[in-house]
Structure 1
Amino acid sequence: MDLRALFQSYKPALVRITVQTPIGDLSTGTAFHIGDGWLVTAAHVLRGGVLQEVVSEHSSVPLSAQSVIFNKDDRIDLALMKTDLDLSHYLHMTTIHGSPKGFVQTDHIELGGHLDDWLGDELVLSKVLLMGYPPIPFSQQAVLLASEGEVNAVVDKYSGPHPHFIISCPARGGFSGGPVLSEYGFLLGVLVEALVMDGKDAETGYSSAISIEPLLVMLHDNGIYPGKNRQLIEALLDGIDNGFGKPFRLARWTRFIGASTKKFRTLVWQNKRV
């Protein structure tokens, strides 16, 4: 999947978050839309500060934050925010010209379906796209930044549960909460931290993205089934046969990636018909 097509397809779903810290500084983080006004971000983006602004990338209009849900396990750096974001006009009334091959006009980011016990090293060296709002020196305004990278490793941290993807994109503040998209067209994980030691600057660390299972469980536990992501959440967590198979992890991954690629191509075909 062309990462330019991923960027153009999913950038309308990106949202910038600005928080005032206890000492009065402004801190920027990233969130993204998964459907029905629900945003996903890293919990530390919102904790310990006062929310100042939530701005849609597509419309540049401040959004109303209606509620925030943090993961019940403080070690899991994820949060959900309900907003009044509505991209239906973009989705149904806007015609896109000159988009790259593979572009899909969508108002949300499609969640992945890879559960923790499926993960081995099958995705190591596959390409990823990270999007977010790290501060850019001398820029007159906040700009959505896209960074191409690859999966370097999948690690289990002793400081918390769930696998994390180590990606080659540079670790920069402002990327926190941003989506890490697989080249196969689905959400691989959420950028939550830079892994560093001995008090070094975050920029010298490894970019770490938490995998998708805790987000799926969080949505399920709170009865949130946003938009077109509902079917995936129910299939994975309610015991419905999802067709990915059970015998071998590699076989499951091969079928899942194939199904994801086919689904993305179907969406492209349907969009062209419209």
Structure 2
Amino acid sequence: MGEKVPRKVKYDPKYIGLYHNTALKIANKLVAEGLLSTWGNKTGIYQQFQGNSYDAEKMHYNAYDFLIYGFAEVVNHYNRSIRIIEVAEDKTGKIDVGTGFAILHKHTKQYFITAKHCLPKNSEIRMKILLGFSNGFAYPENIYSHIDDNVDIAILEFSDKMALSDKFFVLETPYLLDKILVSGYPPVPGTADAILVSSTGEITAMAKTYFHKYEQIYVNANVKGGSSGSPIINEYGSIVGVIIESARDIINNDLQDELRFGTGLTSDLIFEILESIDNKGDIHKKMKFSINSNNSFRLT
């Protein structure tokens, strides 16, 4: 920034306002995040800035671009990393849907994270990945859950001979009042194909519940059926949690809360389970499943 202003912007009035406002908006955003500081006594388009910090890993994952260009850039970048899960019930044939997302743990292992209740027993579970089997569906090598059955997280491990995605999320610790994005595949009336639906909000609360000893996060993004397993993403494009349910009405538990708050489990808990898997720890267990002829699978 500083005094190097493009000539046409400096002298052509029709460009001055646009350039001035855009440049200052980006700079002030970076100042607010602590990445830049102002210095000198100049103002406006001549204001000078200096960098405070630089994180090479964040740069590698496009975090600074996401911070500047917003959540629309996050959705555009990671849309193929968020996948729909189709569940066909054996008795009725009814199709339900859930969501999950791809991460690369320690830069080597491909995992797909979702809510455990998105993988019910007595149902055919269908998933498509970026590069799997020729007929479209793909099954994992292993499926893991937390040793505590009340923890609603499932982790699917995929072979390195497949490509779960071409881009993978990273995990980051959530904080109260973080601005967040939730993207998933809730059913949309009047549409023939699954649509990735995104909603923004904040982490409005973080608290432990009587269901288990782990912290849950509450977000005011628009969350509804089909959003289970959706990633909760911060402004840097990192995963801070996974949606497990929409909030229920306090009087009638069969009804959704009018504000459609979402409940999630934290990325810290996901990381703990992944570390347990990686180091043969004791807070995870394998879930048994069988493979169908069309490469879908079912929990047994």
TM-score w.r.t. the length of structure 1 is 0.66
Could you say what the CA RMSD is over the residues aligned between the two structures, in angstroms?
Answer: 2.5
Q: TM-score, normalised by structure 2?
A: 0.60
Match of 1:21 among 89, 95, 99: 89
Asked if residue 194 in structure 1 is aligned to residue 246 in structure 2, the reply is yes
Change (3 A) 1:10 1:46: same
The offset of 1:200, in angstroms, is: 3.0
- Separation in 2, partners of 1:51, 1:178: 20
Which residue of the partner structure matches residue 80 of structure 2? 12
The aligned counterpart of 1:67 is: 142
Q: Please list, as runs of the form range in 1=range in 2, the aligned pairs for 1:195-234 lying within 5 A after superposition.
A: 195-196=247-248, 197=250, 198-202=252-256, 204=258, 206-223=261-278
Distance 2:197 2:154 in 1: 22
Moved over 6 A (4+): 57-60
Closer, same or farther in 2 for the Cα pair 1:56/1:223, shift >3 Å? Answer: same
SS at match of 1:44: helix
Q: How does 1:49-68 map to 2 (within 5 A)?
A: 49-56=122-129, 61-68=136-143
The superposition leaves residues 192-229 of structure 1 with CA deviations (integer Å, 9 ceiling, x where unpaired) of 1123233232364531111122211111111179xxxx
Tell me how far apart the structure 2 counterparts of residues 206 and 113 of structure 1 sit (CA, whole Å): 20
* TM-fit CA distance, 1:26: 1.2
| Structure 1 partner of 2:168 | 108
Give, in angstroms, the shift of residue 64 of structure 1: 2.8
Alpha-carbon separation, structure 1, partners of 2:164 and 2:278: 22
Q: Secondary structure, in 3 states, of the residue corresponding to 1:202? A: coil
Match of 2:99 in 1: 30
Partners of 1:19 and 1:155 lie apart in 2 by 31
* 8 Å CA contact 1:14, 1:57 repeated in 2: no
**Closer, same or farther: CA 57–5 of 1 in aligned 2, 3 Å:** farther
Using the TM superposition, give the Cα deviation of residue 87 of structure 1 relative to its aligned residue in structure 2, in angstroms.
Answer: 5.9
Larger-gyration structure (1/2): 2
Q: CA deviation at 1:62?
A: 2.7
Whether the 8 Å CA contact 1:170–1:203 is kept in 2: the answer is no
Say if 2:146 is the partner of 1:86: no
Q: Residues of 1 paired with 2:225 and 2:268: CA distance?
A: 24
User: Is the 8 Å Cα contact of residues 129 and 182 (structure 1) preserved in structure 2?
Assistant: yes
Q: Deviations over 1:38-57 (max 9, x none)?
A: 10110010023423310237
Is the CA contact (8 Å cut-off) linking 1:14 and 1:56 kept in structure 2?
Answer: no
* Structure of greater relative contact order (alpha carbons < 8 Å, 6+ residues apart): 1
In structure 2, relative to structure 1, the CA distance for the partners of 1:218 and 1:72 (3 Å cut) is same
Q: What is the aligned residue count? A: 200
Change in CA separation of 1:220 and 1:33 when aligned onto 2, cut-off 3 Å: same
Cα pair 1:54 1:65 within 8 Å, conserved: no
Q: CA deviation at 1:71?
A: 1.4
- Describe the shift of the 1:81–1:130 C-alpha distance in structure 2 as closer, same or farther (beyond 3 A): same
8 Å CA contact 1:38–1:80 kept in 2: the answer is yes
Percent identity reads 22
Deviation of residue 174 (structure 1)?
A: 0.8
Asked if the contact 1:11–1:58 (Cα under 8 Å) also holds between the matched residues in 2, the reply is: no
Whether the 8 Å contact between 1:168 and 1:207 is mirrored in structure 2 is yes
Are the structure 2 counterparts of residues 188 and 210 from structure 1 closer, same or farther at C-alpha, using a change threshold of 3 Å? same
Q: Which has the higher helix share?
A: 1
Map of 1:123 onto structure 2: 176
Gap runs ≥5 in structure 2: 1-66, 281-300
1:77 aligns with 2:160: no
Conserved 8 A contact 1:193-1:209: yes
Q: Distance in 2 between matches of 1:32 and 1:67?
A: 16
CA change 1:168–1:75 in 2 (3 A) is same
Instruction: Name which of structure 1's ranges 72-81 and 158-167 shifts more when overlaid on structure 2.
Output: 158-167
CA distance in 1, matches of 2:156, 2:122: 15
